Structure 1
Amino acid sequence: MSSENQCRFTARLRNVRHLAAVIKSIHFKDIATCRISPDGLTFILEESRCLFGRCLIQKQIFEDFNFMPPMTDGAPLNSESQQEPRFVSQSGSQHGSNQYYSQRMPPGYSPDGTANFGINLATLLSCLNMFGTAGSSSIYTGDGTGGAIGGSLNSGPVTAIKLSYNGTGTTFNLTLEDDGVVTTCGIPTFDPEPPVDFEFNEENHSKIIMKAQWLEEGLRDLDATSDRVVIRLSPDIPHLRISSLGTIENLDVNYSQGDVIETFVYQYNRPIEISYNFSHVLNVLRVCPMATKANMAIDSKDFMRIQFLLPVVEHKYLFAEYSFSPLEALD
């Protein structure tokens, strides 16, 4: 492929921990798809069409972010106005609303010009921790008004990083700098896995927003040996019940609006119960300790999506998301 048909991407981040933390939050398997768009970087994972993970590092997180989509045989379309990213669509191909190119894209690119490639997350995380500074937590855990509750963003040594990618067939390059010492890693990329045709119904769903801490504590109180977890939603108290079905006993955790639930949107006048693979749902425990908010939504086909807000500094956030297919109806 000629160089003019390749994308050009470079980005700089002052603290490598931010990138490492959000990738770790969805790292339930090694092989992932990385998607680079004008809005930022997205990493996407999928397991057996039942479990989906996604994280977004918006371009606003970076000190410097430059992405040039590849050229086609036609001229690029209008890309003057860009909306803020919307981290709500499972497809992930558009975080905003712009279409940049109408002509056919080269292999490895979406119709809108975003770059897509496969990458090994274990290798990526190992490279990010080259100086041993990516493992400790530095996620800002403030209360949203700037007052820090937990650790400091600048605690411990800080490693800066530059990312670059030159298109299909090239390596994903990391240049890390720590106290004047510079090292460069080139991670092989490969053709991404075919995308799964899954789209969450944004127009018809129930929604629950609570502190991530409450969701984490509830899940840890259940029987982790259970093969399924049951989510019960009701217009009456308790509005949300999460139950594990064990071989000896069933355990329940109840949540109600005004007590733990901050926002409750429910579209039915009767309770519903939906079961999910509990081992899949427990993956959210990777992200809960770093997140402040959990947004749980269940659509009309019983697909469940939980989005997490990870504050970095005041008014800047990372986003992580898990989605789950329902199991068969309970007997």
Structure 2
Amino acid sequence: MASSSQFEDNAEQYVFSCTLDNVRNLSNILKAIHFKDHAACFTTKNGLKFTVENSKCLQANAFIQAGIFQEFNISEESVMFRINLTVLLDCLSIFGTSAAPGTSTALKMCYQGYGHPLTLFLEEGGVVTVCKINTQEPEETLDFDFCSTNVINKIILQSEGLREAFSELDMTSDFLQITMSPEKPFFRLSTFGNAGSAHLDYPKDSDLIEAFQCTETQTNRYKISLLKPSTKALTLSCKVSIRTDNRGFLSLQYMIRNEDGQICFVEYYCCPDEDVEGADT
């Protein structure tokens, strides 16, 4: 058991430390990318980025800005490690996920550097629990080379519009086909499942669409098995930015408002299902 004074006595030995009054502001965002056991954590003065990947076809990033934390200290330019995300989430919810109204679990998270565990001090109602989670050498993450200058089409949509689409379309389909175009149908989602094909169209002046910047017609297919993990982020989000680049790669950026009204972002990158010319250049 460690008191907060013990934590402060040791503060100078950490290469990274932060505090949060409400641990759910971190755990809810991490749940949105929890589709594999392990995540890479990258820390800079701007905040934390957790990255989870699947089969070199999908990458999810959760961004938690430094301003979300009550205290945020880093003594090196960047700090990186790999961690078991399942264990981290279990520790963050050690006091349970449904705190009574008006109560929250406070968190102090610290890391001494390479080879050391990530240490969590969780406090609720005067009770402190200390968790130490082993860290590993970070593996190189994929570079999807998704560059804004190569973005062909971009739509910002209220999340309820995409949630509605995912509930209406046939998710027994192997893939989701996305058409984005300056002409009709503007924005179309299609599935080809056991019950036949289904299409959902959004006019560019739909109340659900906040921005529509499409320069050329693109139709790409994405494996639904890859997109399904992103529905966790969709459920939490209020807006989603949907972008495709000149290779047909897809970026889904979810804007998530936490319990204190602050904004965090979760981004999913997904390869198109078919070989796209120039995809490996």
TM-score (norm 1): 0.75
Kept after mapping to 2: 8 A contact 1:201/1:300: no
Q: Is the 8 A contact 1:39 1:58 kept in 2?
A: yes
After superposition, the C-alpha distances for 1:178-207 in whole angstroms (9 at most, x for unaligned) are 000001000000011222232102112111
- Do the aligned partners of 1:275 and 1:329 also contact (CA within 8 Å) in 2? no
Unaligned residue ranges in structure 1 (runs of 5+): 1-5, 70-112, 137-153
* 1:40–1:59 Cα contact (<8 Å) kept: yes
Matched, 1:261 2:268: no
> Which residue of 2 is the match for residue 169 of structure 1?
115
Q: 1 CA distance for matches of 2:117 and 2:15?
A: 12
1:30-83 CA-to-partner distances (Å, cap 9, x unmatched) read 1110111111111001111101100011000001111110xxxxxxxxxxxxxx
Q: Secondary structure at the match of 1:287?
A: helix
The 3 A distance-change label for structure 1 pair 190 and 329 is closer
The alpha carbon displacement at 1:155 in A equals 3.9
2:39 is matched with: 32
Q: Which amino acid aligns with 2:175?
A: R
SS at match of 1:251: strand
Q: Kindly report which structure 2 residues correspond to 1:244-259, keeping only aligned pairs within 5 A, or say none.
A: 244-259=191-206
8 A Cα contact 2:181 2:215, kept in partner: no
How far apart, CA to CA, are the structure 1 residues paired with 2:173 and 2:14? 47
More moved, 281-290 vs 60-69: 281-290
Bigger mean CA deviation after superposition, 27-36 or 246-255: 246-255
Amino acid at match of 1:317: I
Whichever residue aligns with residue 51 of structure 1, its letter is L
Quote the residue 2:3 is aligned against: none
Q: Give the superposition deviation at 1:222.
A: 1.2
Q: Distance in 2 between matches of 1:180 and 1:248?
A: 56
Query: What pairs up with 1:286-305 in 2 under 5 angstroms?
Result: 286-305=232-251
1:181 paired with 2:132, answer no
1:124 aligned partner: 88
> Which portions of structure 1, spanning 4 or more consecutive aligned residues, are displaced by more than 2 angstroms?
154-157, 312-316
Matches within 5 A, 1:46-61: 46-61=53-68
Mapped partners of 1:54, 1:285: distance in 2: 14
Deviation at 1:272, TM superposition (A): 2.1
Which protein is richer in helix relative to its size? 2
Using the aligned pairs only, state the percent identity. 36
- Counterpart mapping for 1:57-206 below 5 A: 57-69=64-76, 113-133=77-97, 155=101, 157-205=103-151, 206=153
Q: CA deviation at 1:329?
A: 5.8
Q: Please say if residues 155 and 210 of structure 2, whose CA atoms lie closer than 8 Å, have aligned partners that are also in contact.
A: yes
Could you say which structure has the higher strand fraction?
2
Q: Decide whether the 8 Å contact of 1:41 with 1:59 is kept in 2.
A: yes
Q: 1:29 to 1:117 in 2, by over 3 A?
A: same
Distance 1:186 1:44 in 2: 20
Structure 1 position 313, deviation (Å): 5.7
- How far residue 118 of structure 1 moved from its aligned partner, in angstroms, is 0.7
Q: CA deviation at 1:234?
A: 1.7
Q: CA–CA distance in 2 between the matches of 1:28 and 1:254?
A: 29
* Residue in 2 that maps onto 1:73: none
How far off is 1:7 after superposition? 6.2
- Cα shift readout 1:232-275 (whole Å, capped 9, x = no counterpart): 1121233110111114401111112221211111122xx32101
1:275 and 2:239 equivalent? no
Q: Measured at CA, do residues 243 and 160 of structure 1 come closer, stay the same or move farther in structure 2, by a change above 3 Å?
A: same
TM-score of the two chains, using structure 2 as the length reference: 0.88
Moved more, 234-243 or 51-60: 234-243
C-alpha separation in 2, matches of 1:25 and 1:256:
29
**1:209 equivalent in alignment to 2:156:** yes
Q: Pairwise mapping of residues 235-250 of structure 1 onto structure 2 (< 5 A)?
A: 235-250=182-197
Look up the equivalent residue of 1:181 and give its one-letter code. Answer: V
Which stretch shows the higher mean deviation, 178-187 or 7-16? 7-16
State the one-letter code of the partner of 1:219: F
**Are 2:186 and 1:222 equivalent residues in the alignment?**
no
Aligned to 2:5: none
RMSD across aligned C-alpha pairs, in angstroms?
A: 1.8
Counterpart of 1:45? 52
Q: Distance in 1 between matches of 2:143 and 2:235?
A: 30
Counterpart residue type for residue 236 of structure 2: M
CA distance in 1, matches of 2:185, 2:179: 9
| Amino acid aligned to 1:209 | I
Worse-matched range after superposition: 179-188 or 226-235: 226-235
